[in-house]
Amino acid sequence: MIYVIDHNDSFTHNVVHQFALFDKVECDNYNEISEKKIQQASTIVFSPGPGNPRDYPITSKIYKRFKGKKKLIGICLGFQHILFCEGGKIIEQKKIYHGFQSNIKVVNDKSLFKKGKIFKVGRYHSLKLQEPFKSNNFEITMRCLNSKVAMAFENHKEKIYGFQFHPESFLTINGNILIKKILSA
Amino acid sequence: MKKFNQLAEIHQSGKPYIVYKSQKGFDLYTNFSQKIILNNKNIKSFLNKKNRYKFKNTDLFIGFFGYELLNNLIGVKVPKQKNFNFPKGIFYKPEKKIKLSNNLRYNKKSYESGNFKININKKTYRKIFNRFKKKIKSGETYQIKICTKYKTQSKINPLDFFSRLSSTNLAPEAFMIKDNNYSIISCSPENLITKKGNNISTKPIAGTVKKTKHLNKLKALNYFRKNIKETKEHNMIVDMERNDLSRICKVGSVKLSKQKIVEEYKDLFHYVSLISGKLKSNIKNLEIIKAMMPGGSVIGCPKINTLNLLNNQEKENRNIYTGSFGYIKFNGDMRFNIIIRSILNFKDISEISVASGVVVDSNANHEFNENFLKAKALIDLFK
């Protein structure tokens, strides 16, 4: 079972529907987490949402508690949240992407996806990861073709994955393939 | 007896009635046997109540949910605001339904009114605008709609107004309510819920451009496609409405049936999409209403955080504005619009509310003027 933790977002249920193509999905708000469901889950997904990772200390606790024990996936705010918990700084960006379709590129040969491959994806983010960023086993694997902003990380050892863009958006082409691949990794 | 005479007769008789746009003309509902005034306490039982379907065309409740009621229903609080105690929601049980043509033919122009005053001037608007823009930069909202209100003292004949409005602007979700102590006239173009059996759809509007001599429908489509700001705003609403439908629909059933088309109205063109899905089994109407209302396209995104930002900013109650009008049939089918482009007449005051969106690259002047453009078609009725 996949447990999606919602951060009061208006895109979370698109995420739920996307993951539900592959497995049973449960979804609760971050402040109404069910201990039973979280124990049962094989994968925990941190949803998109408004604000900054530091606004959600409960989510940080969940991340730290299950890191290395379950597969963890972050989307948008969730992506930022995982990096924040790994010591990354999340900052405002000059150019903001809300409802924007952009080309992103696989830039790392440790990725599950072929290096050099380009994806068309939907983006909704005010904030970004400040770089350089370094944390054990974490690799930035995709970047925006134009701005070079980090768009995905992969940590194969501890099975932690994150996308800054929205694989569930109608603006993302082949989003289901992206999710299928990290779920089967 | 000619049908328009029937309308005039019902109007003259002074009894309450409702007119709602149908596919071919209008439907008139009257002879109300029940009137339910909604509040936070009775709304859930109203929506959960099972009414026996007797195969009559009046087996339905028709009416509206105000904005505050819909906020409270999803657990969002509205702080104390200036208001004139207009009911939070009212539904009626009609015993008579009459089909009317598109031409209402009521030619008795009559009203008294003062001049409309706006509740937020340009300077204040700009201040609010800049405050919200900061919230977008810090990621607290991605899009937010600032509401402005035009008000005047008035005494109007709602049927006169509605028939004049419909003759120039035949909006697909237009409606009018005439009750003893208030009336509402609306040329809403926006459908929020169409539910038939297990099928549900929503048709959000995001993107508006003023009609000119040189701008036809095709050119308007080109304008929207090339305009990155309008496109992004629209994309966001599409994903948000997909999300709201996904709460109540079967996995894999939510589809974008019409993507970014242009619809033409009296003074403007709108950029529209149609999203549909198949309801999960055992979903109740209360859950559908909680998932879909208040309609996202007139609020901003993400819904909860943006509602909180709006409610803390706005000093005056929205009343009906961005609430929903429509009906719930006894067989469970529903149709609801979003209440925009409307005039609320209550206690000898006419009130028109409008809103337009702030996204990261919007311009305060442009949005302030867009608000006026939206209000103008209604204010012109007072001329």
Q: Look up residue A141 and give its amino acid.
A: T
Span A169-185, average pLDDT: 96
User: Could you give the CA distance from residue A70 to residue A57 in angstroms, rounded to a whole number?
Assistant: 19
Q: Is A76 a catalytic residue?
A: yes
User: Which amino acid is located at B345 in the chain?
Assistant: N
SS (H, E, C) chain A: CEEEEECCCCCHHHHHHHHCCCCCEEEEEHHHCCHHHHHHCCEEEECCCCCCHHHCHHHHHHHHHHECCEEEEEECHHHHHHHHHCCCCEEEEEEEEEEEEEEEEECCCCCCCCCCCEEEEEEEEEEEECCCCCCCCCEEEEEECCCCCEEEEEECCCCEEEECCECCCCCCCCHHHHHHHHHHC
What ipTM score was computed for the predicted complex, to two decimals? 0.97
Note whether B307 contacts A: Cβ–Cβ < 8 A: no
Q: Which two tokens stand for residue A72?
A: 């963890």
Q: Are A51 and B231 inside 8 Å of each other by CB?
A: no
Active-site annotation holds for A81? no
Ranges A95-109, B131-145, B350-364: which has the least confidence:
B350-364
Mean pLDDT of B177-198: 97
Q: How confident is the model at residue B305 (pLDDT cuts 50, 70, 90)?
A: very high
Domain A2-184 CATH assignment equals 3.40.50.880:
yes
The phi, psi pair for B313, rounded to 5°, reads -90, -40
Q: What is the set of domains in chain B, with CATH numbers?
A: 3-382 (3.60.120.10)
Can you give the pLDDT at residue B369? 87
Q: How confident is the model at residue A136 (pLDDT cuts 50, 70, 90)?
A: very high
Do B300 and B308 meet the contact criterion of CB atoms below 8 Å apart?
A: no
**HSE-CB for B180 with a 13 A CA cutoff:** 3
Ranked by mean pLDDT, the top range of A31-35, B82-86, B228-232 is A31-35
The residue with greater pLDDT, A111 or B110, is A111
Closest partner residue to A126 (CB to CB) among B138, B251, B305 is B138
pTM score? 0.95
Measured CA to CA, the distance from residue B268 to residue B118 in angstroms comes to 21
Q: Chain B closest CA to A21's CA: distance in Å?
A: 7
- Give the CA distances from residue B249 to residues A7, A179, B226, B241, B242, in Å, rounded to whole numbers and listed in that order: 20, 21, 33, 12, 10
Range scoring the smallest mean pLDDT among B85-94, B132-141, B331-340: B132-141
User: What is the average per-residue pLDDT within A124-136?
Assistant: 95
Provide the pLDDT for residue B370: 83
pLDDT at residue number B108: 78
pLDDT in tens, B258-294: 999 999 887 789 999 999 999 999 999 999 999 999 9
* Spans of all domains in chain A: 2-184
> Would you call B287 an interface residue with chain A, using a CB distance cutoff of 8 Å?
no
Decide if B138 and A171 are in contact by the 8 Å CB cutoff.
no
- Whether A86 is a known active-site residue: answer no
Q: What percent of chain B has pLDDT over 90?
A: 79
Beta bridge partners, B357, equal B145
CA B118, distance to chain mean position in Å, is: 20
Given a cut of 80, is residue B3 above it in pLDDT?
no
Q: What amino acid is encoded at B375 in this protein?
A: A
Give the pLDDT confidence of B188-230 residue by residue, as tens digits. 999 999 999 999 999 999 888 888 889 999 999 999 999 988 8
What is the average pLDDT score of chain B? 93
Check residue B266 and give its pLDDT.
Answer: 75
Q: Is the CB of residue B106 less than 8 Å from the CB of residue B163? A: yes
Query: Which pLDDT does position B13 carry in this prediction?
Result: 94
Indicate which residue of A7, A125, A154, A168 is catalytic: A168
What's the pLDDT at B61? 98
Q: Please determine, for residue B357, whether its predicted confidence score (pLDDT) is greater than 90.
A: no
pLDDT of residue B322: 97
What letter would DSSP give residue B381? Answer: G
Name the pLDDT band for A97 (thresholds 50, 70, 90). Answer: confident
Between the alpha carbon of residue B51 and those of residues A73, B18, B45, B48, the distances in Å are: 45, 21, 12, 9
The answer to which of A64-73, B306-315, B348-357, B362-371 has the lowest mean pLDDT is: B362-371
Q: Does A53 touch chain B (CB under 8 A)?
A: no
| pLDDT score of B316 more than 70 | yes
pLDDT band at B345 (very low <50, low <70, confident <90, very high): very high
Tell me the average pLDDT across A126-134.
96
Which chain A residues touch B236 with a CB distance below 8 Å? 98-99, 124
Considering only CB atoms, which chain A residues are within 8 Å of B229? none
Nearest Cα to Cα of residue B111 among B159, B151, B171, B150? B159
Closest CA to B172 of B189, B152, B197: B189
**Which candidate in B224, B234, B239, B241 is best for mutational testing of the A interface (most A CBs within 10 A)?**
B239
Contact A99 B234 (CB under 8 A): yes
Confidence of residue B2 (pLDDT cuts 50, 70, 90): low
